[in-house]
Structure 1
């Protein structure tokens, strides 16, 4: 598995990939919108916003099977997603 660099740009890229993965499943996407309070238009407009990206990663963290599945799909360890969220929140 590859380990992303520790800078914010890489964290945002990884989080954006996780967002795309999350939206690839209709039920998961609906849960994300419900949890974040965003509607599809807001999400499209704010997809690059560090707060939205961090919220997406936090959403995945709250359900470990999703976190593990996303990490596997992106070929990174689950901890990389957690670290990316931490960097985006700072």
Structure 2
């Protein structure tokens, strides 16, 4: 069955919104100090690579994966950005690999 163009446009808009949320999460992590350092250690990314890949959907997926490791980070980010915590997981689901099961 062919997809309707409006479905494709809605999907693209949802992905763009998810990417924007992930960029905001990266900025939030940067403002927290230790979590950003921990992210850089976990990913092997330095400041230059973070800047270079900040628009890469796969990198942004990694940002949300990292953020979602700690409930306190999700709650803090959501509160600081006027979001519901579940919106972080919803955004993650719209980025590459988001259709994979999430096990913790």
TM-score normalised according to structure 1 size: 0.88
The equivalent residue for 1:84 is 91
Matched pairs, number:
85
Aligned mates of 1:35, 1:71 — CA distance in 2 = 22
**Distance in 2 between the 1:15 and 1:31 partners?**
17
2:34 and 2:54 map into 1 onto residues whose CA distance is 19
2:8 paired with 1:8 = no
**1:70 aligns to what?**
77
Instruction: Quote the offset at 1:37 in angstroms.
Output: 1.5
Q: What is the Cα deviation at residue 56 of structure 1?
A: 0.8
Match of 2:40 in 1: 33
For 2:21 and 2:34, the matched residues in 1 are separated by: 21
Q: Of Structure 1 and Structure 2, which has the larger fraction of its residues in helix?
A: 1
- Which structure 1 residue ranges, 4+ long, deviate > 2 Å from structure 2? none
SS at match of 1:66: helix
Structure with larger Rg: 2
Note the aligned Cα RMSD (angstroms). 1.2
Query: How far off is 1:28 after superposition?
Result: 1.2
Name which structure has the greater RCO, CA cutoff 8 Å, separation 6+: 1
Q: Offset at 1:52?
A: 1.1
Q: Which runs of 5+ in 2 are unaligned?
A: 1-12, 98-104
